[in-house]
Amino acid sequence: MSLISKFLHKVIRQGVLTIVYPDGTQEQFGTHKADWPEAMLRFHHRRAYAGILRDPALGLAEAYMNGDVSIDHDRVLDVISLYRRNTPWEARGGTAPSTVKRLMTTMRRKLQQGNDPSKSKANVAHHYDLSNDFYRLWLDPDMQYSCAYWPDATLQPNGSPGSAWTLEAAQIAKKAHIAAKLDLKPGQRVLEIGCGWGGMALYLNRVADVDVLGITLSEEQLKLARARADEAGVSDRVKFELIDYRDLAAREPGQFDRIVSVGMFEHVGVPQFKTFFRCAANLMNAQGVMLLHTIGRMGGPGLTDAFTRKYIFPGGYIPALSETLAASEPFRLIAADVENLRLHYGLTLWHWYQRVEAQKAQIVAMYDEKFYRLWLFYLAGAMTSFEAGSMCNYQIQYVRDRRALPMTRDYIAAREAAYMQIDGLGDHHEAG
């Protein structure tokens, strides 16, 4: 029995994975079970074995991208789901890392996540400056590239979340959820750190009558964000700038009533965590409120996996809640509210995956087959990491003054409902 065979017999117990080896022989792993996927993976070269055994995610991704491995009907999601669902994070044993392992992790973080301003810009460009036309193919019209919010979601028999809402409606719900937690007042000045293509900034201005400065390190995103503000006729109140948050903190201390950051903290890197929060605290006025929306990892700190670090987000890191809060504490930022959107991102990624599949011909024409396979693998791996791995999504609300917000959380639901009504989504049934 080969090492690959031993590995798969140990891991795949439910659902069925059929392997076709280079010599044409086949082997089946797992057992048929309702609501579990079945898939066929074909090895075309033995050289793929070593990479997969060394690092299953990176090895399989590279073998699939390079054509050393193929998956019948490109059912990448089924193959990765079989692995993830058979090894759920909740079922794994936990032990405290040794002193040597902790030291090695610290050293590797410094090497992998040295995000000084020049490196940060290059790392952002690697992912976000691909092409606005590429992202338009599969994102919602507002170009929201972060976890949506699904108010009506329920768990299906296979444990995956399901919703009658469209992706478009769920992304509006996300923006309303975040806006409500900011407790916005007309005329306030809001800073968005990592503004993407401008959707959140334009939304906050539209529903809450606030002035917004969105900052980014992506030149492609900046162009589109400014064009959208011009088109909406609000460029005097919604401005976008290509600037690092560290430079802005030196330029405009204490100038913002509110700060929002969605999907940017994952790119900061552990060595810069305290710098990020120091800058955020300095940018806010005394009654300031901040909403940090970030992918997070359940359990303790870790390292970015090799596939993500090499191909998707160089310099990026998904933070544990413990290290995020610890980094904010020295700057007297009070964590007023913490919410874990446990499965919302998994459902969001499922929609993105389906849309990328549907746009295969255009993506291959725009780039090539290898690029398409890379993104299919990335989205499938990300989705399953939220459904069975250690990933989740945190929304952390910070204040500088304990009296800056109402005494109870009731204002959040009330404000959120009002914002949803603006877009005709007051009744959940209207969203589907």
**pLDDT tens column, 348-392:** 999 999 999 999 999 999 999 999 999 999 999 999 999 999 999
pLDDT of residue 314: 86
- Single-letter amino acid code for the residue at 289: V
Task: Report how far residue 35's alpha carbon sits from residue 228's, in angstroms, rounded to the nearest whole number.
Answer: 43
> What is the gyration radius of the CA atoms in the chain, in angstroms?
22
pLDDT band at 14 (very low <50, low <70, confident <90, very high): very high
Write phi, then psi, for 377 (nearest 5 degrees).
-65, -45
For the ranges 87-91, 131-135, 249-253, the maximum mean pLDDT occurs at: 249-253
CA-to-CA separations, 339 to 37, 99, 124, in angstroms, rounded: 31, 31, 27
pLDDT of residue 126: 53
Lowest pLDDT segment from 112-116, 256-260, 322-326: 112-116
pTM for the structure as a whole = 0.91
Task: Report how far residue 140's alpha carbon sits from residue 153's, in angstroms, rounded to the nearest whole number.
Answer: 19
Contact at 8 Å (CB) between 213 and 219?
A: no
Q: Is the pLDDT of residue 90 over 80?
A: yes
CA-to-CA separations, 64 to 29, 53, 58, 71, in angstroms, rounded: 20, 14, 10, 8
pLDDT band at 316 (very low <50, low <70, confident <90, very high): confident
pLDDT of residue 30: 96
pLDDT band at 430 (very low <50, low <70, confident <90, very high): very low
Task: Report how far residue 421's alpha carbon sits from residue 161's, in angstroms, rounded to the nearest whole number.
Answer: 25
Over residues 237-250, the mean pLDDT reads 97
pLDDT band at 291 (very low <50, low <70, confident <90, very high): very high
The secondary structure of 317-351, three-state, reads CCCEHHHHHHHHHHHCCEEEEEEECCCHHHHHHHH
pLDDT of residue 426: 74
* pLDDT tens-place string over residues 185-215: 999 999 999 999 999 999 999 999 999 999 9
Which domains are assigned to the chain? 3-87 (no CATH), 117-431 (3.40.50.150)
pLDDT of residue 432: 45
pLDDT of residue 2: 81
Q: Is the pLDDT of residue 324 over 50?
A: yes
pLDDT of residue 115: 58
